[in-house]
Amino acid sequence: GQLVRPQQITVLGATGSIGLSTLDVLARHPQRYEVFALTGFSRLTELEALCLRHRPQFAVAADEATARELQLRLRLAGLKTEVLAGEAGLCAVAAHPDVDAVMAAIVGAAGLQPTLAAVRAGKRVLLANKEALVMSGALFMQAVREHNAVLLPIDSEHNAIFQSLPRDFGRGLSAVGVRRILLTASGGPFREMPVSALADVTPEQACKHPNWSMGRKISVDSASMMNKGLELIEACWLFDARPEQVEVVIHPQSVIHSLVDYVDGSVLAQLGNPDMRTPIAHALAWPERIDAGVSALDLFKIARLDFQAPDEQRFPCLRLARQAAEAGGSAPAMLNAANEMAVAAFLERRIRFTEIATIIEFVLNAEAVVSVEALQAVLRADSRARELAQGWLQQHGC
């Protein structure tokens, strides 16, 4: 319905794939939403263009120098937008008292503190930045409860699970009659490639996803299936599930976005065209529904849906993530940091695709798992894993 005051939305990571899809949905509903703040990191000209188009109150650039540059350009264009810098700026626009909802769409560990700032300010938090939750799960969910934040998953699978669960799933999965969660995966671009050829794939091949167009880091994660591994951990935290309650199902068409299996034999699922604007619109408007600009699903055109079990031989990252999920404590943060280092090295052509898993396994085996109750401990595990991965790269002359 018509609202008195448009909701104020901060988009962290506005220049990225999820950020742009979010702005597309917001622009379809100008009476309902206003862009309060936009943040970017490396693409200053893109961020400037987004500011000119959406006229936010605040923008956040990577550092003081780029913030000054952007501030100057926006002033010259006659905008009143105030430009902030760095992590402090990100946290300020995430927690600002005038903000209603925060889209957390920064990629990787860099998004942790700003996302936590939004949670601690009790915002409606639209979580795309799965790495933040994987790193700090216990602490993150504790903060959600303490500050009455409303956490809505943007990851299409988790959004589908959320939609397929009853409203009171917080009582516990068994209390609401859930037997298992079925987490679907496309299998990425290398699903059918001979395993022996995986050592020679290029970053370009890895970034060419069959069904989704996404940022480079998550595209590599999809190709290695580490993305599904991170999503397994994400699902455990979001829905208070044990790792063995989450089963990964390869579904190459990406039409069923995930399913929930109930004790009476009912299986509920959410389907749709693979377009992130659907989960974004769902989370923005929840519990209402708004137009996302996504075309209606044409089942006749799709004609068939296929399913197969994942192959951990082909996708060792999935096995490593499950092990980290079971180990708990610092293991998921170490897994995530090692993966970020390895993926960056792969994208820079310093290592082979298959060495991503090698590095992660090395890092996980190098250190005993410790408990991570405070943010400091999470950050320590993250930097320790990066050091270990760096050591591996140096030792192998990469």
Q: Which residues bind Mg ion (CB under 5 A)?
A: 155-157
Is 209 within any annotated ligand binding site? yes
Residue type, 37: A
- The CA distance from 258 to 95, in Å, is 31
Whether 369 and 331 have beta carbons less than 8 Å apart is answered as yes
Query: Does 340 interact with ligand NAD (rule: CB under 6 A)?
Result: no
Contact segment (CB under 6 A) with ligand NAD among 10-18, 117-125, 262-270, 369-377 equals 10-18
Determine the size of the site formed for ligand NAD (CB under 6 A): 25
Out of 54, 130, 282, 384, point to the residue binding ligand NAD (CB under 6 A).
Answer: 130
Query: Does 105 interact with ligand NAD (rule: CB under 6 A)?
Result: yes
Is 13 within any annotated ligand binding site? no
CB of 266 to ligand NAD, least distance (A): 27
Query: Does 95 interact with ligand NAD (rule: CB under 6 A)?
Result: no
Residues of this chain, 265-294, that bind ligand NAD according to CB under 6 A: 276
Query: Does 186 interact with ligand NAD (rule: CB under 6 A)?
Result: no
Contact segment (CB under 6 A) with ligand NAD among 106-114, 284-292, 309-317, 341-349 equals 106-114
In the list ligand NAD, Mg ion, none, the entry touching 330 (Cβ below 5 to 8 angstroms by class) is none
Q: Which chain residues interact with ligand NAD by CB under 6 A?
A: 13-19, 40-42, 105-107, 110, 128-131, 155, 212, 214-215, 217-218, 276
Residue numbers in the known binding site are 15-18, 129-131, 155-157, 186, 209, 215, 222, 227-228, 231
